[in-house]
Structure 1
Amino acid sequence: MPFPAQDHGCSGWNAEMAQRIGEFDWSATELGPIEHWPRSLISTVQLMLASPVPLVLLWGKPGYMIYNDAYAVFAGGRHPYLLGRPVEGGWPEVADFNRHVMTTCLAGGTLSYRDKELVLLRDGQPEDVWMDLSYSPVADDSGAPAGVLSIVVETTGRVLTDRWRQRAEAELHETNERLQLALNTGAVLGTWVLDVRTGTVTGDERFARTFSFPLEEAAKGVGRKSATQVIHPDDQAFNDRLTAEAIRTGERFRAEYRIRRPDGEYLWVQANGQCEFNEQGEPTRFPGVLIDIHERKIAEQSLRQLTETLEQRVADSIAARALAEEQLRQAQKMEAIGSLTGGVAHDFNNVLQVINGNLQMLVADANGHPATLRRLSAATEAVKRGAKLAAHLLAFARRQPLSPTVLNPRRLLAGMGEMLHRALGETVKVETVLSDDLWHVQVDRNQLENALLNLAINARDAMQSDGTLTVRAANRLLDAGFCRGIPELSPGEYVVFSVTDTGTGMSPEILQRAFEPFFTTKPDGHGTGLGLSMVFGFVRQSGGHTLIESDVGRGTTVSLFFPRCREPETVETADETAAPVGGGGETILIVEDDADVRLTAVEMLAQLGYKVLTASSGDAALDFIDSDVPIDLLFTDVVMPGQVKSVELAQRAAARSPATPTLFTSGYTRDEIFHHGKLDAGVTLLSKPYRRDDLARKVRSAIEAGAARRSQQVSQQHSGQASATLPGTPGRVLLVEDDTDSREAFSDLLAALGLDCTAVASAEDALPLVSTQRYDILFTDLTLPGMSGAELARAALRQQPDIRVLLVSGYGESAQIGAAIPGARMLGKPLDIAQLRRELGQWIDHAEAAS
C-alpha cells in the first residue's frame, strides 16, 4: 500500500483517508490499479494527505475525486461516497460550476474564489454555504496538466457573522437617526440629569434653551432651585412632591407642569425620568427628558370647557334648529306661492293674448270709427294693466325673462334722481348716500329701476307723503358669521342698495308677511300687494337677497344685496328697432296648445302676409319638422303638452337642411329656455301678451336672421370645400365640453397638435355652428346639459355627412349611446394622448407637414 500514514509522516487524523484510498478498487476507474499510478499522481496524493487543510484532487478529465481527512469532514454525509467519483456526479447540484473548473484548469489556468456562495445538499436539504476556493492544475509525469488540486475552506460562519454585524450596525444607525429626528421635531425640549447628592442639574443644548440658561452653564451644572424657578408657581409644589417620591421609591417619574418662556407666556411640558441607585441603594443620578405637550393640554382644556357648557350648547343647537326649520317653512311657503302665482300668470297671459290679439285686429277693421276706436283703446289699456299685473306675478315667481347687463350703481342712481322726485312729490326729501369706488353689478337695468322705484313709493306711503327718504349704495364684504342666519346668502363681495324711510314702520307680524303676494296694509283700492313680492322675486332671480329691518314708529329699511361683478360696465346702445314689416309669403309653423291663442296668432300672421301651418303639440309639430314641407320659421309656445318638448322641437328644426330658426313665446318662462335668471344663449322670446306690431318685428327679425345664417352656411361650405383641397390646411375641430377646465385643457391640446379648434359649452351652442360652418372633426363630451353629445353627433352628420365624430365619456369606451352612429368613435376619460393622435392622424400629419 503506497499511502500508509506511518510511512509518509501523516498525522493520525489523516490515517483514515490513507487507508481508504489504499483499499479502494481503482481498477473500475480510468485511473487503473493503484500500483500502476504515475509517480506524479502518487506524490500529489501524499502531499494532500499530509495537509490539515481540506484538499481534494480531481484527476483525469472526469475529475475522479481523491481527498484528505479534512475534506472528508467538509463532505459530511457524502463521505465516503465521493471517493473515486467524477466530480460532476459527486456534486450534481453544482455540476455546471465544476465543469467550468475542470475545463479551465486542464487547459493550464487557475481559479480562485472568495466567499463563493453555493447551494449544497446537506442531510437531504438544500443549504446556502459560502467558501473560499482555489483551483490549480496538477501535471502528470510528462508535465502536461492531468488533474486539478482544490483547496476548500468553508466561510459560512464568518459570512453570516459579518452579515449579522452589518445588520446590527444598520439598525443602530437607523435607531440613532430616529432618535435624532425625534429630537429635531421640537417635541423634545431637552434632556437633563440631576445629581442627587449635590443637587445640581446638567442639561443639553435644548434644555439650556428651554430654561433660558447659557449652554456652558447648563453643561457645567446649575442648582436645582435655579432650574425650577421658571416653573409656574401653582405647579412647583406638585413637581417637588413627585420628584421626592421618585427619589425615595425608585419608581418612574412623570410630571406635567407649566414653564415660563422668555416672552412671559407659559408652556405645558411633561418631564419623564427614573432615579438610579448605587450598590448600597443610595440615590445617585436622576436622568430625564422634557417633552412639549402644550397643544394636547390646550385641546384637553377646550374639550373640558365644551363638556362643561354642553347643556348651553344643546340649548343653542335646538334654538338654531328651530330657526332653520322656521326659515325652511318660510322658504317652502314662498316657493309654493311662487309656483302658484307663476301658473296663474301663465293662464292669465294666455287669456290676455286672445283678447289683445283680437283687439289689434279689430283696430285694423274699425275703419277709423271714433267711438269704436275709443272703446278698443279702453279695452287695450285694460289689457296692459292686466299684463303689468301678470308681470308682477312672474317677477315674484322668479319667472320673468331678464336681460342682465353690467351696471355702474353710481351712474344708475344718478339717472334715477329726476324720476324719484317726480314720483315722490315735493314734500318728501330725498337723500342719496353713495360709497366711493362702488363695485359693478350684473342685473337687469329696467327691473332694478322698477324695484327701487317701488320701494320709494312704498316708503312715501308709509311716511304719508312727508318725511325723508334715504337711498344708499355701498360695497359690503359678508363673512360667514353674517351669512349663517341667512341661508340664501354666501360669504363674499356684494353691492347693497338700501331704501330707508322715516315712516310708521312695521310690526313683527306684518314684517313676516311683507313679501307675500297680494298682502298689503293699504286700504282697499290702494295697491295690489305685489310691490314687495315683485322686488323679492327679481332680486332672488338675479342671484341676490332682500332684507327688511323695521321698528314701529321709527321707519323701515329695505336692503337689496347683489353679488359683485368684476366685468367692465356694459356700454348702452341706442334702440334701433325698425318699424314692423309684413311677410313675403314665408311659411310659419305655429305650435300652441291653447286653441284660442293659436287661432289669434294664425289670424295676425295671415294679416301680415305669411303662410301658416298649425300644430297643437310638439308631437304633432314633429311630423311637419321631419317632412319635406318647407318651413321658414318655427313659432312655438315654451310650455307644451306631449312627449316632444319645445326645446327638443327647436333642436330638430335647427338640424333640418336648411336649418329652420325658432321663435319662442310664453306667458310663463320655464326652465326649458331659462337658466340662472336669464334666457339661454341664442334663444329668441316673445312674451305674452304681445301686440301685433311686436309679433311682426320678432317674426321678421327671426326669419331674416335664419336666411342670413343659411347664406353664410352655403358660402362657408364652398370655402371649406375649397380649403379642404389645399395641402397643409389645419383640420377644423368643433369641441363641445360643458366643464370649463376640461374644455380649456382639450382646446389647448388640440391647438398644440396643430388643429384649428372652436370650443363651445353645449350642443345648443354647437348646432348653429354646424349649420353655418364646415368642420372636419366633431369632438364632443357624451354627457352635456340639454341635448346629449350622441344626439348632437346625429344632427351634425345630417348637416355634414363627412364630419369625423369623436365621442368622449367618463364612463369609458363602453358608454351607452343608443342606436349606433356610423363612423363615430368612443374615447374614454382620462384621454390617452397616443390614442387621440391615432384618431386624428391624417389631420395632425398634414399640420406637421405644413409646419
Structure 2
Amino acid sequence: MANSEECRRDPRPGHGVAALAEDLEGVIDLIPVPVAVFDTEMRFVAASAAFLAAYGGDIAHAVGSDHDALLPWLPTACRDARGKALAGETVQCDESRTMRPDGREAWTRWTVAPLRRAGQVAGIILIIEDISAEKEFQQLTDLRAEEIIEAMKAAGIAFFEMDFDRDTLVATEPARQLLETQEVPDSFDTWIALAAPEDRVRLKEAHRAAIDPTGSRKFSIEFKLARSAEPKVIELRGNIRFDESADPPRPVGAIGAILDRTERARIAAAMVRGQRMETVGRMAGLIAHDFNNLLTVILSNLELAARTEMADLARGHLERAIDATRIGAGFNQRLLALAGARTPKPVRFGLDAQLAETWTLLERVLGEQVHLRLLPGADRGQIYMDRGELDGALLNLVINARDAISAAGTITIRTGSAQLDVQQAGEIEGARPGRFLTVSVSDTGHGMTPDVRRQALDPFFTTKDARVGNGLGLTSVASSVARAGGFLDIDSAPGEGTTITLYLPEVDGDPMLAAAEDRDALRMGDGQLVLVVEDDPLVRETVLDRLEALGYAVIEAGNAHQALEQIEAGEPVELLFSDIVLPGSCSGFDLVDRVRARDPRLPVLLTSGHASEKFAGRPKVEQEIELLTKPYSLSTLSAAVARALNPDAPPG
C-alpha cells in the first residue's frame, strides 16, 4: 500500500486507532478487494489500496475521522449493520443501489464484520465492492437472451432434447409451429410419419448412420412435411449422446435443432432452374444460328420466285409461304432472346392496339371447337416492351390454353390495369409494387394440381405427350415478361381451368410507331461491286442471287482469308458484306479491322443470326456498323445495302 505512516497509525500514543493500525500494519495491503477498518467508535483506521483507488485517495489522510463524515454515501443498510458487527455478527448484502462519491449511481456488494483483538471486538471491517459493471452485464445478458429467443423464432429455429430410454422429448416453444403439429414427435417412428413419403428413406438412412457409435454421431437431414399446406422443408441437426460404459457404446439420447429451410430450398431450386436455363439458352443459340441460315435461304428463294411471272394461284401459295417463313423467323428471334443472344428492341405502345393487330395470328392456332374472346380494358395505357416478345408470349399462352382444353371450350384474353401496394405484391411470387397493365389468358380446361402449378416454369417439366412436344412455353413467357420489368401470376385448380396474368409496367409518353417494312418499294443498286463473305454455301448463293436481283455486281468469299486475298489483289470492292461468325480465328469483326486499316472509307455491312452479345462488346466504332439480323427480307436487305453505301442520304 502506497500510503504514509500517517495512514496506518494515530500519532497519539496508546490511542485505540493507533493500536489497531499497528496490528494491521503490513496486512491490509495484501487484501485485493476494497476494505476499510474502523474502531469501536467508528473512527477510520486504515484501508486497502483497492479501497483508496475505488473511493478516493484523500481518505488515506483522514485517519481518526468519523465513519459517517468520511463515507456519507454508503447505503443506509450498511450503516445500520455497524451495530450488529460490533455485537459480533457478520452482515452481508449481495446487491445494493447507492450513490458514489463522484455522484454516479452504483450497485455495490458489501460485508460488515467484527474485528477481534484479544478475544474482544475492537472494531469493524467494511468490505464494499462496486458491481455496477457486473450488474450491467447481467442485465445485458438477460436482454440478449430474450432477443436471441425472439430472433430464433423469427428465423425458424427451435431446440429439442430426446431421451431414448424414457421416450421423452423436451422442445422449445417454436417447435410445434415449425412442424405444424400439436405434439412434437418423441420417437423416431413419429418423426418418420411427419416426413413426406419420398423423404422417409433418406430420413431412415440418416438415423441409422447417426446412432452408429463408430460414425460421426451427428445428424443433419432435410425433409418435406407430409401434411403441410405449402411445401415446407425442415432440417434436423444435432448430436447423438451415447452411454460410453456399454460395449459397444449405446445411444441414449439426442440434442439438436429444428430449422425451417423452406426459403433456402426455394433459392436452391431457383439456382437449379437458372443453371438449366443457361444450358437451354446455349442450346437455343446453336439451334437458332443454323435455323436462321435455313430461313434466309427459304425466304430469299420465295421472294425471288414471287417476283417472276406466274399464275395468280401459284403467287398466292408463295405469299402464304413467305408469311409462314416470317412467323418462323419470329419464333427464332424468341429462341435467341431465351439464349441471351438477341437484344430486345422495346418501344412504347398501347396494349389493346397491339392485341388488335395480332388477333388474326392468334385465331389461326385454334381449331373450330375452341372459341377465342377478347375483352379489352387497357385502351389508355402503354407499356415499354419488344412487340415481338409480347406477340410470342401471347401465342405461347394461347397454344397452352388450347392444349389444356380436351374438347370444345373458350379462351379469353382480357386486358386491364392494376395498382399493387406492398401487401398485394407480397401475395404474388416475384412481384413488386407499382402501376401495371395486365393481360390475362384464361381457359376452360382441366386446370393444374398444386404440384404442377409449382413446376410450371421449369423448362424441363411438361404434362404434354412427348409427341406433342414439351416446348419452353411458360419459361419463354416468363423470360420475356421479366425483360420488360414485369412478372406473371398463375391461378389454377383442377377442374376449374387456368388463368395466367402478365403484369407489365405502365409507362408514360407518346407511342412509338412500329418500324413497318415496305415490301414493294425496293431500293435498287447501280452495279456497285459487293464482296459477300459467308461460310455457308447455301446462304452465300442466296445472298448473291438477291444482290444481283437488286442490281449489284457481286464477288464471294468463304472466309476472311479469301476476302482479304481478293481485296489485296485489287478487286474494286465498293461494299464489304460479311457474316460475323466465320470459320477459323478471324471473325467478321477482325475482317473489318484489317480491311479498314487498308481503306478506312470502305463501306461495311455485317450480318448474323446469333451475334448480339459479341457485337455489344466491340469498340464504339464497330457498334456503329449496321448489323442485319438473319433472316431478313429482300426489302430489308435493299434498304440496309443502300444505307451502307450512302449513309448520308435521306431515307426513302
TM-score (norm 2): 0.55
Rounded Cα–Cα distance in structure 1 between residues aligned with 2:432 and 2:80: 61
The superposition leaves residues 639-696 of structure 1 with CA deviations (integer Å, 9 ceiling, x where unpaired) of 2222122334345556664433433322334411258xxxx96453333233323221
The 3-state SS of whatever aligns with 1:272 is strand
Residue of 335, 357, 380 corresponding to 2:300: 357
Give, as a single letter, the amino acid of the residue that structure 1 aligns with 2:77.
V
In the alignment, does 2:108 pair up with 1:273? yes
**3-state secondary structure, aligned to 1:641:** coil
In structure 1, the partner of 2:418 is 474
> What SS does the aligned partner of 1:589 have?
strand
1:416 CA drift (Å): 3.2
Q: Which residue of 2 aligns with 1:556?
A: 498
Which position in structure 2 is the counterpart of 1:338?
281
Per-residue deviation at 1:599? 1.5
For residues 266-297 of structure 1, the C-alpha deviation after alignment (integer angstroms, 9 at most, x for no partner) is: xxxx9631437597327699987587666653
Indicate which of 293, 309, 315 corresponds to 2:158: 309
Q: Which residue of 1 aligns with 2:187?
A: none
Rounded Cα–Cα distance in structure 1 between residues aligned with 2:630 and 2:460: 21
Question: Residues 229-628 of structure 1 correspond to what in structure 2 (within 5 A)?
Answer: 253=95, 272-275=107-110, 277=112, 280-281=123-124, 296-304=141-149, 309-310=158-159, 314-315=235-236, 316=259, 318-364=261-307, 366-368=308-310, 373=315, 376-377=318-319, 380=322, 383-384=325-326, 386-407=328-349, 411-413=350-352, 416=355, 430-431=374-375, 441-452=383-394, 454-456=396-398, 458-459=400-401, 462=404, 464-466=408-410, 469-476=413-420, 495=436, 497-499=438-440, 501=442, 503=444, 504-508=446-450, 510-511=452-453, 512=455, 516=459, 521=464, 529=471, 531-542=473-484, 544-560=486-502, 568-569=509-510, 571-572=512-513, 575=516, 579-622=521-564
Distance (Å, rounded) in 2 between the aligned partners of 1:482 and 1:697? 49
Shift of 1:598: 0.8
Work out whether residues 421 and 430 of structure 1, in 8 Å CA contact, stay in contact via their aligned partners in 2: no
Q: Which amino acid is the alignment partner of residue 142 of structure 2?
A: K
Give the counterpart letter for 2:647 in structure 1. Answer: A
Q: 3-state SS of the aligned residue for 1:585?
A: coil
Distance 1:281 1:349 in 2: 104
CA shift for structure 1 position 580: 1.1
Instruction: Tell me if the contact between 2:486 and 2:504 (Cα under 8 Å) persists in the aligned partners.
Output: yes
Deviation of 1:595 after TM superposition, in Å, equals 1.2
Structure whose CA Rg is larger: 1
Distance 2:295 2:582 in 1: 18
* CA distance, structure 1, for counterparts of residue 419 and residue 73 of structure 2: 60
Post-superposition offset of 1:465 = 3.5
Equivalents in 1 of 2:439, 2:147: separation in Å?
Answer: 42
| TM-aligned CA deviation for residue 594 of structure 1 | 0.4
* Amino acid paired to 1:281: I
Query: Structure 1 473/633 Cα, relative in aligned 2: closer, same or farther at 3 Å?
Result: farther
SS in 2 for 1:665: strand
Q: Distance in 1 between matches of 2:491 and 2:316?
A: 47
SS across alignment from 2:285: helix
Check the 8 A contact 1:476/1:496 in 2, yes or no: no
User: Structure 2: which amino acid aligns with 1:272?
Assistant: W
Paired residues of 2:437 and 2:506 also in contact (CA < 8 A): no
292 and 368 in structure 1: CA distance in 2 versus 1, 3 angstrom threshold: same
Q: Check whether the contact 1:346–1:667 (CA below 8 A) recurs between aligned residues.
A: yes
Aligned-residue offset at 1:587 = 2.7
- Once the two structures are superposed, the pairs formed by residues 691-730 of structure 1 within 5 Å of their partners are 691-705=633-647
Measure the CA separation in 2 of the matches of 1:509 and 1:704: 59
Deviation string, structure 1 residues 762-818 (Cα, Å, up to 9, x no partner): xxxxxxxxxxxxxxxxxxxxxxxxxxxxxxxxxxxxxxxxxxxxxxxxxxxxxxxxx
Match of 1:195 among 73, 76, 89: 76
Q: Aligned equivalents of 2:531 and 2:415: distance in 1?
A: 49
State the secondary structure of the residue aligned to 1:309: strand
Q: Is the 8 A contact 1:252 1:275 kept in 2?
A: yes
Q: CA deviation at 1:601?
A: 0.8
Structure 2 counterpart of 1:497, one-letter code: T
1:353-389 per-residue CA deviation (whole Å, 9 max, x = no partner) reads 223323333444x433557646655654554454355
Distance 1:497 1:404, change over 3 A: same
Which residue identity does 1:586 align to in structure 2? Q
Alpha-carbon offset, residue 318 of structure 1: 4.7
Aligned length: 446
Change (3 A) 1:419 1:599: closer
SS of 2:605's equivalent in the other structure is: strand
Task: Classify 1:707/1:296 alpha carbon distance in 2 versus 1 (closer, same or farther; 3 Å).
Answer: farther
Aligned-pair CA distance for 1:622: 4.7
Say if 1:633 and 1:663, in contact at 8 Å, map to a contact too. yes
- The answer to whether 1:686 aligns with 2:628 is yes
1:615 Cα deviation (Å)? 2.5
Tell me how far 1:535 sits from its aligned partner.
Answer: 2.2
Q: Secondary structure at the match of 2:295?
A: helix
Are the equivalent residues in 1 in contact too, given 2:351–2:383 (CA < 8 A)?
no
Distance 1:406 1:693, change over 3 A: closer
Asked if 1 retains the 8 angstrom alpha-carbon contact of 2:411 and 2:441, the reply is: no
The one-letter code matched in structure 2 to 1:299 is R
CA distance in 2 between partners of 1:344 and 1:273 (Å): 82
Rounded Cα–Cα distance in structure 1 between residues aligned with 2:357 and 2:314:
38
Please say if residues 299 and 633 of structure 2, whose CA atoms lie closer than 8 Å, have aligned partners that are also in contact.
Answer: yes
Give the conservation status (yes or no) of the 8 Å contact 2:372–2:410: yes
Q: Once the two structures are superposed, what CA deviation does each residue of 1:201-228 show, in whole Å capped at 9, x if it has no partner?
A: xxxxxxxxxxxxxxxxxxxxxxxxxxxx
Q: From the superposition, tell whether residues 555 and 587 of structure 1 become closer, same or farther in structure 2 (CA, over 3 Å).
A: same
CA distance in 1, matches of 2:498, 2:343: 30
Q: Which amino acid aligns with 2:627?
A: L
Contact 1:345 1:668 in 2 (8 A): yes
Gaps of 5+ in 1: 1-171, 176-190, 201-246, 256-269, 709-851
Displacement, 1:614? 2.4
Q: How far apart are residue 597 of structure 1 and its match?
A: 0.7
The letter of the residue matching 1:298 is L
Measured in 1, the distance between the counterparts of 2:333 and 2:284 equals: 10
Q: Which amino acid aligns with 2:143?
A: I
Give the counterpart letter for 1:466 in structure 2.
T
Q: Determine the C-alpha separation between the residues in 2 that align with 1:650 and 1:480.
A: 53
TM-score by length of 1: 0.43
SS in 2 for 1:539: helix
State the identity %: 27
Q: Which moved more, 1:376-385 or 1:425-434?
A: 425-434
- CA shift, 1:494, in A, is 7.2
Looking at structure 2, the residues matched to 478 and 347 of structure 1 have their Cα atoms a distance apart, in angstroms, of 46
Q: Secondary structure at the match of 1:506?
A: coil
Say which SS state the counterpart of residue 502 (structure 2) adopts: strand
Q: Write out aligned runs for 1:682-831 (5 A).
A: 682=624, 684-705=626-647
> Aligned equivalents of 2:296 and 2:391: distance in 1?
27
User: Which secondary structure state, in structure 1, belongs to the residue aligned with residue 415 of structure 2?
Assistant: strand
Deviation per CA, 1:214-273: give whole Å up to 9, x if none.
xxxxxxxxxxxxxxxxxxxxxxxxxxxxxxxxx956587489xxxxxxxxxxxxxx9631
Matches within 5 A, 1:138-157: none
Whether the aligned pair in 2 keeps the contact of 1:192 and 1:288 (CA below 8 Å) is: no
Contact 1:398/1:538 (8 A) holds in 2: no
Question: What is the aligned-residue RMSD (CA, Å)?
Answer: 5.1
Equivalent-residue separation in structure 2 for 1:378 and 1:415 (angstroms): 22
Letter in 1 for 2:352: L
Q: In structure 1, what is the Cα distance between the partners aligned to 2:361 and 2:538?
A: 41
